[in-house]
Amino acid sequence: MMVVHGTPDAARALKDRRAQRWDDLPDDALVRSSAALGQPVSTVEEAVRLILDRVREGGDSAIRDLAEKLDGDRPGSLEVSARTIANAYEQTPRDVVEALRLAAERAREFHQVGLPKSWFDEERGYGEVVNPVERVGAYVPGGSAPLPSTAIMTAVPARVAGVSEVIVCTPPGPGGDPAPAVLVAADLVGVDRVFRIGGAQAIAAMAYGAETVPAVDMLCGPGSVFVTAAKRLLFGEVGIDGLYGPTETLLIADETANPTLCAADLLAQAEHDVMAAPILVTTSNPLAQDVLRELDGRAERLKRGAIARQSLDRRGCIAVVDSLDDAFDLANEFAPEHVSLMVREPRDHAAKIRNAGAIFAGEFSHEVLGDYVAGPSHVMPTGGTARFGSGLNVRTFVKISPIVALDDASSLELGRAAAAIGRAEGLTAHAEAAEIREELNVHSDPSRRPRFLKGAAQP
């Protein structure tokens, strides 16, 4: 794990770790993709373009072919049956089912508070109409670490927003079905349909539609570089919640922080992916050294210890800086997915974090709770996009249409200003559309207003 001292070196190290490396794949992965797709590809984007085109043109058959060639298993039915979902409860430990139920309930409560509402100001003649997206497709990662929590974190805010239909695509496991816990989570939150499709072909299926899979209005959820590339290429054809890279956690710690807790939280993120970025910024050099020792000892005991260690070595960093203000400035510049405040009186400092997907204030308000049961969605902006973006929330799934409904007097008063601006812009039709209503208003009785006004083409 890299250790740097001083703000300038820390800033350089964090800048290097913030890069969204969309095509940062080992050569052998591209070789495998080329073999599976039947033609050479040199980048992730090239591979994904081929996948999108094939699904758009070939539908279900293309999805099955891609699954067989890319994943080594040709699925039968693409949709998971109600019986399979019911059986998933029997295959999932009871404590896990109850934990997922708790997570779903807390998520509902959290998102209901943030639900925007339509409004109208009669006096001013304007307002906003809030309508939900009609159909949403959520991608729930599978593979080596299926994420039932993601089914909750994507579907619940969509449901609270009033989305009529939510479907999920998730990769099948070794037995041909998605992980039972993922199916249970999807059922608990009222997902309408689940499909055993993974990767870029799942994103294509939901975007374009196929014989079995309905086309959606919006896609949401995290995934591999192939999933993210597919979402990026489909922007403009279907709604996209965001583009999510490897997870990032930045801990800010002073001399009061517990090194064991700091190390545990860094490892919790490091085990996600070898590209995860676990970062500690501290004002205490003794704490930095203690955390290093804790990381070495704890990583050895983890089931995914090899992944965590690669993450620490490749993208991890401990930065020792002179002051907390320096630490806050670094955090805002880095704009990470998660910021954890392991400092004295953490709530007093929370407002100093302006750029973060989520803020965790205090050693016991730790980020793992945010991953599962705190309430907010764990789908958060990465790669510095927290500078301008927010995490998945109930507002992601609504559309806001302004409404203008003026009385005649207000319309005429504003129309004079509108006409002046229109003529200043050289748009005389704009100006006349406002001015002509002055002539119409001479006939104050609507029943006596003429159909044709001065300058109109007569029938």
The set of catalytic residues is 337-338
Among 221, 76, 81, 82, which residue's Cα sits nearest to residue 138?
221
Closest to 340 in 3D by CA, of 315, 361, 323: 361
3-state class (DSSP) for residue 238: strand
Q: Are the C-beta atoms of 147 and 140 separated by less than 8 Å?
A: yes
SS3 340: strand
Q: φ, ψ for residue 322 (rounded to 5)?
A: -80, -30
DSSP string computed for 360-423? EESTTS-HHHHHHTSSS-S----TTGGGT---S-GGGGEEEEEEE---HHHHHHHHHHHHHHHH
Note whether 108 and 94 are within 8 A (CB).
Answer: no
Contacts of 68 (CB under 8 A, 6+ apart): 74
Long-range CB contacts (< 8 A, 24+ apart) of 114-122?
A: 114/393, 114/394, 114/395, 115/160, 115/161, 115/394, 116/394, 116/395, 116/398, 116/400, 120/403, 120/405
Sign of CA dihedral 160, 164, 169, 175: positive
Structure token digits, residue 148 = 């039932």
- DSSP of 176-192: SS--HHHHHHHHHTT-S
Query: Can you spell out the DSSP letters for 277-298?
Result: EEEEEES-HHHHHHHHHHHHHH
Beta carbons of 157 and 397 less than 8 angstroms apart: yes
- Cα dihedral sign for 94, 96, 102, 108? negative
Half-sphere CA count of 448, side-chain side, radius 13 A: 6
> Is-contact 365 347, C-beta < 8 A?
no
Task: Give the H/E segment covering residue 165.
Answer: strand 165-169
Q: Residue 236 — left, alpha, or beta (φ > 0 → left; ψ -120 to 50 → alpha)? A: left
Beta carbons within 8 Å of 375's beta carbon, 6+ residues apart: 106, 107, 109, 110, 111
